[in-house]
Amino acid sequence: MTLDEGKQKFLQSWGALGSSWGINRTMAQIHALLLISPEALSADEIMADLQISRGNANMNIRALIDWGLVFKELKPGERKEFFIAEKDMWEVVKCIITQRKKRELEPMLKVLDELSSVADESKEGEAFAEVIKDIKLFSSKADSTLDTLTKADSNWFVGTFMKMIR
Amino acid sequence: MTLDEGKQKFLQSWGALGSSWGINRTMAQIHALLLISPEALSADEIMADLQISRGNANMNIRALIDWGLVFKELKPGERKEFFIAEKDMWEVVKCIITQRKKRELEPMLKVLDELSSVADESKEGEAFAEVIKDIKLFSSKADSTLDTLTKADSNWFVGTFMKMIR
DNA sequence: CGTAGATTTCAGAAAATTGTGAAATCTTAG
DNA sequence: CTAAGATTTCACAATTTTCTGAAATCTACG
């Protein structure tokens, strides 16, 4: 397989993976493109490589910066902005965990708390309370586990943790 | 909050959560509905509760059965099929991990293997190979970690594992 | 300032996903 | 076997998500 074929396949696969994780295809592809680029790229280069419009590129680059997966890089003497991706996989994963935890797990915990206030004596009410309680228990545990994980450094993760459970 | 308000809010939140995880809203809502239902429900009851068509209900119920999250229950003397959800949260999570691992992580590992065959001496080629290698390393580790996790039983998880890392 | 180059915004277009409902198919009691 | 009831399928409709491109805004140099 040539480098170009490989790049193409990687962009395609990473984009598809993104889709099935609620991240839009283009955002995932921009991320993939920056990951495998040894140099920072400008918006124009990204637009050209992925054949997308300026608006689309801009929005998704901003989103990636929001997630903390991509950084702006200003080259001296250049008016344009260049972009570079976090390359350390463990940092990438920590970023994603942190963000999704904040955006999804924490709001869910809040909702579950509200739902705990439902008190109904019927069979339906009991079943409801039971499910909410279980989900809340599980989610809180997941929450603190993820906190620990994202505070751990890569070496600890690949070393201690992996050895321990395997 | 009344039971009905609570149920409504739960169906809504669980559906929204599904969307941001690449699972369609209706599928997640059917799952939520069955989770909080003390009795098995028929397709007609699900259609009525969620205000969806027969076709939609049927397709998403089948999908949930595929995932192993919902089971058919045949009531003696009844011609209809009834459906019931797996209620144990740890089982639910194991199911989801197992399926997504099979559907996404494993195919990705296969692609990464193919991409490892790219050998290119250029700076771009080196960067590409490096990224692929890192992702592959991380993914294989995730793969075996998830294997261990899904084989572990709930008690081990909530007990040993949680104590260990906290 | 003025302006050229760069970035951002956003209304509407395009694409992708999901839902509908009626016809086809299957199932089983009689 | 037959027919009523149940399930499945799938072409098309509706909805949601994403993308485009041009206008608006920003930025920094002379």
Q: What is the pLDDT of residues B14-53, one digit of tens each?
A: 999 999 998 999 999 999 999 999 999 999 999 999 999 9
Lowest-confidence segment of A40-44, A83-87, A103-107, B19-23 by average pLDDT: B19-23
Query: Position of tokens 């989900």?
Result: A135
pLDDT of B95 above 60 = yes
What pLDDT is attached to residue B155?
64
- The residue type of A83 is F
Residue B152: burial class (beta carbons within 10 Å; 0-12, 13-18, 19+): middle
Question: Angle B154-B35-B31 (CA atoms, 0-180°, nearest 5)?
Answer: 105
Which single residue has its CA nearest the C1' atom of nucleotide C4? A79
Tokens describing residue B120: 């290119």
Q: Which residue of A has its CA nearest to B100?
A: A20
Distance B78 CA to D9 C1' (A): 24
What is the rounded average pLDDT of the residues A66-89? 96
Give the per-residue pLDDT at A157: 57
- Subunit contact B3:A131, Cβ cutoff 8 A: no
- Residues 50-109 of chain A sitting with CB below 7 angstroms of strand D: 51-56, 59-60, 79
pLDDT of B166 reads 44
pLDDT of residue A62: 98
In this predicted model, what pLDDT tens digit does every residue of B44-62 receive, in sequence order? 999 999 999 999 999 999 9
Sign of CA dihedral B74, B75, B76, B77: negative
Whose tokens are 């999804």? That residue is A104
Which residues are within 8 A (CB) of B20 and not within 5 positions of it... i.e. 6 or more apart?
A22, A103, A104
Looking at chain B, which residue has its C-alpha nearest residue A166?
B148
Chain segment A102-133, per-residue pLDDT in tens: 999 999 999 999 999 999 999 999 999 999 99
Under 8 Å CB pairs connecting chains A and B tally to: 133
Mean pLDDT on B142-159: 79
Quote the pLDDT of residue B152. Answer: 81
Predicted pLDDT at B161: 54
- Average pLDDT value for residue range B80-90: 96
Closest CA in chain B for residue A15: B108
Does residue A24 lie within 7 Å of nucleic acid chain D, judged by its CB?
yes
